[in-house]
Each structure stands twice: as structure tokens, then as C-alpha cells.
Amino acid sequence: MISAPSGDGRPPAPDASLPPRPLPVEEPWTAERAVETYRALFRDAPFTIVSNREPWLARRRPDGGMEYVRPAGGLTAALDPVMRAMGGTWIAWGPPAAVSATGADGDALRFRVPPESPAYEVRRVPLSDVEVRNYYHGYANESLWPLCHSILEHVRFRERFWRAYVDVNRRFAEAVLDEAPDPRTLVWIQDYHLALVPELVRARRPDARLAHFWHIPWPSWDLFRVSPNHRELLRGLLANDLLGFHLESFCDNFLRCCEQDLEVLIDWRRRAVVHEGHVTMLRALPISIDADSFHELAGRPDTAERIAELRRRYGLEGRLVGVGADRLDYSKGILERLDALRFLFRRHPELVGRFTFVQIGSPSRVEIAAYAELQQNVEAAVARLNDALATPDWKPVVYVPRGLGQEDLAAFYRMADLAIVSSLQDGMNLVAKEFVAAQVERPGVLCLSEFAGAAEELEHAITVNPFYTEGFAEDLHRALTMPLEEREERMRAMQAILQRGNVYRWIGDVFTAAREALDLGRRRARPRAAAGTVAPTTASSVGGGTATGGGPA
Ligand code: GDG
């Protein structure tokens, strides 16, 4: 029996006059506090970010001039105010082919943002179409992405992918050397597109300060070794002072790979590794979102109006609603989710006509065959489910095959009685956190894959196993029938976690960890662990401490 919120068994329409329930009170971190943390730790040392994607998009206006637009949400939105206050340089791939073809300042190698009061510089690394195909779609997204998500069926290695990856990483490294001549500069590299940049920079500037955050999982050694370039990747990353992952288990996987592949000294307690005399500190630093902004957006009266409109448009009035919002990526478990929904309706026919699941699927990496295929498979699975079960005025699944604006996304999150995040593997998953932040009244339930990094922090979610369809379906049923009191209790606990650990706290934690890593490297007594002379896990001294050796504590 569904425990529906209102007397007539239907969820009430959102009430625009209700003030949104405030997030539990605790002084949240802000961009200013992250900047103060940097200043306290690094004084006036310059700051540089290196990422594949540009933080601002260059677009040509109809009058022929250029305009620079910041994408809403995501990491770039959180880092933008930090960069504005610190005034550094952001190095990224650009200009996009469409803009460069038009010439003028669209193919400028650098520009300053924000346009109205320039505060920091974007330095672009232009790539040809062939390079984009082989480095970005190829090595980054057909080799590394599926490998790191342990999905071997989609892994493809090609010589030309690797060659382009090396070349492009070299160009990024050159840009770092040009743009950050001051050795005190903290260079913060983002993600799996740029694994070789640290080594290439360090070779030319041994005293560089390098931090790197890897946003996706790191696989176990038995999978990682299938890469023909496994040693080069590890060597590239071991030139960092700090290497951050979302989870401790990813750090430990990385250390085990080093242990198997290279002559290294490992201090498992500190998660530090010495390779060719250089110390790299690993740290689990789970990313987060700007929870207050999301809560505020979801709680706006016009969001309530938007909800009413979306319910009308998609036939959701008076129904229980579930939501999923993903890039169309095979790692997100969208097909497994649709399977579980099929089981749910079969086992609980009382839900027919009463519950609708909305799947928002923004097309992603469509140039890659596996992604184009997934898009078709999702459409086909939705059509099968709807053909089998739909009634004249109801559909089990509403599929929105495109990305939505933040406002619509927040409205769907707020309206939903249930959200499904069913990743087969995921570094963190920000959708899970956004859904939690967007609950402002009569909270919904988060069904969260145990294989998403977010499950470690959001332990008050209902955890699901996307590989076990029947169990998954029963978990969905449990979520849909959960009493309001329990939903509120779980949501309060998760919102408190997000408010304490928002994205600005994450940035501050990265700065603090980078400082510790640099200090650890400096303190290290032994100048050089010569290759071949030290057994990989022999107990030894890293930064003056005692290494435990032999495995994680
Ligand atoms: C990588 C890691 C890690 C989705 N649909 C729409 C939309 N989105 C936004 C969400 C969210 C973002 O995209 C997706 O973030 P995820 O974290 O879920 O996933 P990835 O893109 O795979 O990100 C991941 C992350 O890096 C950060 O470290 O958490 O594990 O794989 O913000 O809101 N946004 C809008 N419309 C949509 O339709 N506006």
C-alpha cells in the first residue's frame, strides 16, 4: 500500500505560499572562506587551474562580436568566484572548432573574465579536430573512462589515441610552464584527461607545486594492468605533490598499482608514495555541491509555479513521481534502472496509473559508438515499458531526451517523491547531492547505488544494487511506501552532511591537503630512492614518519 501524503491518496500540489524549510543551521563554507584558506596557507603565491574544459564558453554574437558565457552549475561555477577573488590563470582546451573557424577574437589564445570586470585569465590550448578525436574521444573517453569505471567491454586502446594523448598533454604542460613562471604557483590539475601533465611539468621545473584531482574511480590493479600504458600513467601522476580522489578505496587502488608496477616506497598510513625521490601524498577528498544555492533555487516560489506547469505538461498531476537525471553514459546504470522499474510495476500492479518515472537524459559523447548505442537502447527500453503498460491517460516512464536548464532540473528534484541514482560505478555523483539539497518540503527518498562514491557520505539514502534487478525493484517499492516521518528524518541527516561539506569546503580541503603534501615532501629525509635498490613496500621513512609497508592499515 502506498503511503500517499494527502487524504485522497494523491500527493498534494506544491504550495507556493509555504516558506521553504531552511537547511539545518551550521555556518556553511563560502567561496571567500576558501580564498582565505588559500591566503593563510600560500600567502600571495599565484594560483593556476588546468582542466580539459573551459570555465567560460566563447560564443559569437549575431553582430559578429564575441560573448563569454559561464555554464550554470558544476565545478566551474564553484571555482569561478574563487578565481575571481584570487585572480589567477585557468588553462583549458579551446577555442571550440565552431568559434575558431570564424576567426577574429574567437580564436584568441587568451581572454579575461568575467567580461564586465575582468579578474582572471583563461589561457586556451587549441586542438585540431583530429586531436580532439584521438585525445578526447579516443584515449580519455574510450580508453581511460571505461577502464577507470571497470567496464572492460567498452575499453578500446589504439596507438593513435595514445600518441594524441601524449602530444596534447605535452601542449598543456607547455602552457603551464609559460603561464606559471613563478615556482611558488600552486598548479591545480583536473581529471583524467591530463594524467601526463605533472611529469612533463616537473621534468622542466623540479620545484613546481602540483596538485591533481582525479574525478572518476581508480580501478583495482587486475583491471588497470590491461592498459598498455599503465606504467606511463602512474609515472605521470606520481610527479604530483598531491593526488586527490573522492574515496579512500580509490587511493588504495592507486597505491596497489604503484606497488605492482614501479619501484616505490609506500607509507600506507599517510598514503604517501616515493617514486624516484619525489613524494606524492594521496588524499580522499569527496567533492560536493553548493548546497545552499541549490536549496535556495529549489525553494523559490517560481520553482513551485514551474512544478505545477511541468506536472501539467508531462501528465504528472496527482501522481507519485520519480526522477533520474543523467548524462547518457553507460556507467550511470540507466538501462538497469529501467529494468528495475519494469519489475516494480509487475510485482506491484497497484502502482500502475499512480506512479510515473521521469528520466532526463542529456546526450553525451555522441561521437563514440557505445554512447550512440546507449541512447538508442534507452529509447527502446522506455518505448517497450510504455507500450506494455501505458493507459490512455498515464505512462510509466516520461523520457526527456535532452539536458534541461537548472531551474527545471531543480523543479523536478523538488517535486519528486523518489530519485534514482543507479551508477554501476561512479566517482561521486553530484545528482544525488543536488536532489538532497533540493528537498524543501515533504521530502522525497533517494535511492542511491552502493557503487556511487556519494553512498559513503549519504548513508541515509536507500542503497540499491543496480546489478540485482529484483532487489532493486523492492528497494524502489520500499522508498515509495516510506512514511513521511522516516523520509524527513533521513533527509534531515543528509542535508546536514551537505551543509557541512559543501563544495567550498572541498576546495578549502584541497588547499589544506596541498600544503600538507608540500610540507611532507620538504621534510622527507632521504633525498632519493634509487630505482632497483629498494623493495617496493619495504618499511622506510617518508617525511620523517615511519612507513608501515605491506598494505593499507
Ligand atoms: C564526474 C564523475 C563526479 C545532468 N543532467 C542535467 C544536468 N546535469 C548535471 C547534474 C550534475 C552533473 O550534470 C553530473 O554530475 P555527476 O557527478 O553526476 O557526473 P559526471 O558528469 O559523470 O561527473 C562524477 C563528478 O565528475 C565531479 O567530481 O561526481 O562521479 O563521473 O551537476 O546536475 N544539468 C542540467 N540539466 C540537465 O539535464 N542543467
Nearest to 482 by CA among 461, 468, 456: 461
Give the H or E element holding residue 230.
helix 230-237
Locus of grid cell 566517482? 427
Among 79, 412, 431, residue to substitute to test ligand 1 (most atoms within 8 Å of Cβ): 431
**Which among 73, 88, 92, 77 has a CA at the least distance from the CA of 38?**
88
The pLDDT assigned to 167 comes to 98
pLDDT of residue 526: 47
Specify the ligand 1 atom closest to the Cα of 426.
30
Chain-centroid distance, C-alpha 519 = 28
Cα-to-centroid distance, 44 and ligand 1 (Å): 33
User: Residue 70: its pLDDT value, please?
Assistant: 79
What's the CA-to-centroid distance between 123 and ligand 1, angstroms? 24
Q: Say how many C-beta atoms besides its own lie within 10 A of residue 404's C-beta.
A: 15
CA-CA distances (angstroms) from residue 519 to 42, 245, 279, 288? 12, 20, 10, 26
The span from the CA of 546 to the CA of 544, in Å, is 7
Query: Would you write out the chain's pLDDT as a tens digit for each of its 553 residues?
Result: 333 333 333 344 444 445 555 555 568 899 999 999 999 999 999 999 999 998 887 777 777 777 788 776 678 888 998 999 899 999 999 865 444 444 444 557 888 998 889 999 999 999 999 999 999 999 999 999 999 999 999 999 999 999 999 999 999 999 999 999 999 999 999 999 999 999 999 999 999 999 999 999 999 999 999 999 999 999 999 999 999 999 999 999 999 999 999 999 999 999 999 999 999 999 999 999 999 999 999 999 999 999 999 999 999 999 999 999 999 999 999 999 999 999 999 999 999 999 999 999 999 999 999 999 999 999 999 999 999 999 999 999 999 999 999 999 999 999 999 999 999 999 999 999 999 999 999 999 999 999 999 999 999 999 999 999 999 999 999 999 999 999 999 999 999 999 999 999 999 999 999 999 999 998 874 444 444 333 333 334 454 443 434 443 3
Nearest CA to ligand 1 atom 27: 215
Q: Do strands 320-327 and 355-362 pair parallel, antiparallel, or not at all (unpaired)? A: parallel
End-to-end CA distance of the chain: 47
From the CA of 361, how far away is ligand 1's center (Å)?
Answer: 11
Give the ligand 1 atom nearest the CA of 454. Answer: 29
Ligand 1 midpoint to CA 433 (Å): 10
Q: Give the integer Cα–Cα distance in Å for 280 and 266.
A: 10
**Candidate from 420, 429, 451 with most ligand 1 atoms within 8 A of CB, to mutate:** 429
C-alpha of residue 456 to centroid of ligand 1, in Å: 18
Cα–Cα distance measured from residue 143 to residue 216, given in angstroms and rounded to the nearest whole number: 13
Which residue owns the Cα nearest ligand 1 atom 33?
A: 431
User: How would DSSP label each residue in 470-496?
Assistant: HHHHHHHHHHHT--HHHHHHHHHHHHH
Three state DSSP letters for 243-263? EEECCHHHHHHHHHHHHHHCC
Instruction: Decide if 460 contacts 492 (C-beta within 8 A).
Output: no
Q: Which residues line ligand 1 (CB under 6 A)?
A: 73-74, 215-216, 287, 325, 327, 360, 362, 403-406, 409, 426-431, 434
Q: What is the residue with the minimal CA distance to atom 4 of ligand 1?
A: 326
Beta-carbon contacts of 223 under 8 Å, excluding residues fewer than 6 positions away, are 147, 150, 152
Read off the C-alpha cell for 512: 589544506
Query: What is the reported pLDDT for 542?
Result: 58
Q: What is the pLDDT of residue 47?
A: 97
Total-model pTM: 0.91
CA of 95 to the centre of ligand 1 (A): 23
**Nearest in space to 171 (alpha carbons), one of 117, 230, 131, 227:** 131
Query: Ligand 1: which of 51, 327, 404 to mutate, most ligand atoms within 8 Å of CB?
Result: 327
How many C-beta atoms surround the C-beta of residue 55 within 10 A? 21
CA of 78 to the centre of ligand 1 (A): 14
Span from the CA of 429 to the centroid of ligand 1 (angstroms)? 7
Atom of ligand 1 nearest to the CA of 427: 30
In angstroms, what is the span from residue 527 Cα to ligand 1's centroid? 42
Ligand 1 centroid to Cα of residue 326, in Å, is 7
Ligand 1 closest atom vs CA 402: 38
Strands 242-245 and 278-284: parallel
- Residue 523 Cα to ligand 1 midpoint, Å, equals 39
Q: Which atom of ligand 1 is nearest to the CA of 217?
A: 30
Which atom of ligand 1 is closest in space to residue 72's alpha carbon? Answer: 39
pLDDT for 6 = 37
Ligand 1: which atom is nearest the Cα of residue 406?
A: 39
Ligand 1: atom nearest CA of 400 is 38
Q: Which atom of ligand 1 is nearest to the CA of 434?
A: 33
User: What does the DSSP 8-state code read for residue 216?
Assistant: S
Q: Residue 421 Cα, ligand 1 centroid: separation in angstroms?
A: 11
